[in-house]
Structure 1
């Protein structure tokens, strides 16, 4: 749906997971073997991956100032199952957060969120305001006040609805 560029760094994983379902058509990439393979999932991982996806979507809606789309498990509760530790490379002294356990996708998402927090990019990852969309996008606008995944689609529809309502 979005005509925007992908989220930076590890947040691209979060964006990709949230965007595995098209709310307008109902198509879910996690229903296909190829879609699951892109995220390193098996069929047994599906329920947890979908729960994580919707908790992430709720957080991204909150970043954009919108209420949750439905009742979900709080993201913090899910991420608590994937603790992170600081790993320091002895060769160059660089440090990074690495998962210490938990499900592989959950651990990767936890590390991505932590990286986004450190870099200051986490709150710029948002979900589209349109109720039939809620597509994840990275808000690169100077003021950080983007509302739609695409001005040409969701933004134009919203503006047309407001115009017609007048």
Structure 2
């Protein structure tokens, strides 16, 4: 085989390859045309600042009115605070009531009427506890029972009158 015959198959293969590859590659786009012209010297442009708006003054908030004062508390019944010492039984004086035996007030009590008891002092009883048992103050019990003696010397077996004192019953008066 001569040289030309050997080249022919190679040329055919190379041509087939070129044709095949050229079908895959897109055709080149034309290059853009650039035109250069001489321009005038550059002018510097300074931007104008936009003025910031001044906030409009708002009306000052009016202070809230002070709350109305609390209404006064309703009157308290005399023995709700532990008794009264200013004048004995009145139309509004509550009845004296026995809350039952308690420490240092263990003696028996006998109701004489709606507002008075007879109390017999037991061992270790104290006037403070006795007054508390009947919702009275110590001064109430002392004014009625100990006008001329010391209430700290109360003895077992003493009989006390448990009621609201009247105006004439003053501590130390009438001895």
Instruction: Identify whether the pair has TM-score above 0.5, normalized to the shorter chain.
Output: no
- With normalisation by structure 1, the TM-score equals 0.23
Bigger radius of gyration among the two: 2
- With normalisation by structure 2, the TM-score equals 0.22
